[in-house]
């Protein structure tokens, strides 16, 4: 979560193939969308303090902690971002029977999320502790264990029931074990004609077969298709992956190179515009949450990417995992015309 200068995408759509360059003039009524978020949740803890000297015990800074914060992380941050827009949001996941799990549930419910968190006494809730001095991240400490098979099966049974009351499903994979049955989840949702968006992890995307949209970032995509030396090569590799997975689209977030949406009829690209970035933590969570919210309101993928891109530009200007509010998005939408 280091404070740094970088670049993010600000909407400037360049279509290729059969896409039409249509622009939205205002946001939809997000309260009409019903979203189910399933995946790995975690509690993000922040210790803020001052650094005035180096420890005599080792060449490390001494942080005098002055305040602490807790925020939802992982799939919980996805749900939080959707709820911040006014989307009716349900979160299904697994936590430990511990203080961190209770705190996480309280945090997301406070922000309007219906949090259905299964307790597994055999694990600890995943916690990411970040220590900051003068707004600079000095260290991150992770605490995590994988949920048991029995709890995951119970979650799958509840998932089947929850599908009846949602329009869009987000499967947020952080590789923590909460989506062991993801292939079945995709199949069940698609059999009910639900849109399924996947935030992937790892180098095996076969488990995401049949989803509607998969949203890797640039480095995650490289793990699967290898490096590319030109846009033409990227197009060929990305389309080959999309076809092999049987997904409608790949939305690739590419940092300073913008966003690229690969569909059967071509690629839609949003070049990046330079701006100062304070923190990229959770930007991918925001992108997939806003994308799902837009699709749940009946928007096209192009318009959904439009707004998701603006939302990402908003949250990276904030410290830590954050959300984009409707009024912020409306202002950003008006600014780009």
- Residues in a beta bridge with 249: 213, 263
Is residue 18 exposed (0-12), middle (13-18) or buried (19+ Cβ within 10 Å)? exposed
Please state the separation of Cα 295 from the chain's center in Å.
15
Cα separation, 166 vs 11, in Å, equals 29
8 Å CB contact between 323 and 61: no
C-alpha 266/C-alpha 220 separation (Å) is 21
Residues in the chain: 337
Judge contact between 38 and 116, C-beta under 8 A: no
Q: Is 285 designated active site?
A: yes
Give SS3 for 165.
helix
Catalytic residue among 40, 44, 120, 285: 285
**Cβ atoms within 10 A of the Cβ of 300, count?**
14
Residue in 294, 324, 322, 318 with CA at minimum distance from that of residue 306: 294
Contact yes or no for 60/54 (Cβ under 8 A)? yes
- Tokens 């949090």 sit on residue: 115
Measured CA to CA, the distance from residue 226 to residue 203 in angstroms comes to 10
Give the span between the Cα atoms of 77 and 305, in whole angstroms.
Answer: 19
End-to-end CA distance of the chain: 32
Catalytically active residues are: 285
């Amino acid at each position: 979560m280091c404070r740094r200068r970088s670049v993010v995408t600000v909407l400037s759509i360049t279509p290729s193939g059969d896409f039409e360059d249509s622009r939205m003039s205002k946001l939809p009524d997000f309260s009409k969308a019903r979203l189910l978020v399933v995946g790995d949740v975690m509690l993000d803890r922040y210790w803020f303090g001052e650094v005035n000297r180096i420890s005599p015990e080792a060449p490390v800074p001494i942080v005098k902690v002055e305040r602490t914060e807790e925020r939802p992380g992982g799939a919980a941050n996805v749900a939080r971002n959707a709820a911040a827009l006014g989307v009716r949001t349900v979160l299904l996941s697994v936590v430990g029977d511990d203080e961190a799990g209770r705190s996480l549930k309280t945090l997301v419910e406070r922000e309007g999320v219906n949090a259905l968190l299964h307790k597994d006494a055999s694990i600890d809730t995943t916690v990411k502790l970040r220590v900051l001095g003068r707004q600079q991240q000095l260290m991150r400490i992770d605490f995590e264990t994988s949920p048991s098979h029995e709890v995951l099966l119970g979650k799958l049974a509840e998932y089947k029931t929850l599908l009846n009351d949602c329009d869009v499903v987000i499967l947020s994979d952080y590789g923590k074990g909460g989506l062991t049955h993801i292939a079945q989840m995709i199949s069940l949702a698609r059999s009910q004609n639900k849109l399924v968006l996947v935030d992937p992890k790892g180098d095996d995307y076969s488990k995401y077969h049949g989803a509607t949209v998969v949203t890797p970032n640039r480095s995650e995509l490289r793990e699967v298709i290898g490096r590319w030396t030109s846009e033409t090569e990227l197009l060929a590799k990305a389309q080959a992956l999309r076809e092999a997975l049987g997904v409608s689209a790949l939305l690739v977030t590419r940092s300073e190179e913008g966003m690229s949406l690969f569909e059967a009829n071509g690629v839609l690209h949003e070049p990046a515009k330079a701006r100062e970035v304070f923190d990229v933590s959770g930007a991918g969570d925001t992108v997939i949450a806003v994308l799902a919210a837009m699709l749940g309101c009946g928007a096209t993928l192009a318009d959904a990417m439009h707004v998701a891109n603006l939302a990402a530009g908003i949250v990276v200007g904030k410290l830590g995992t954050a959300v984009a509010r409707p009024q912020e998005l409306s202002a950003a939408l008006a600014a780009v015309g």
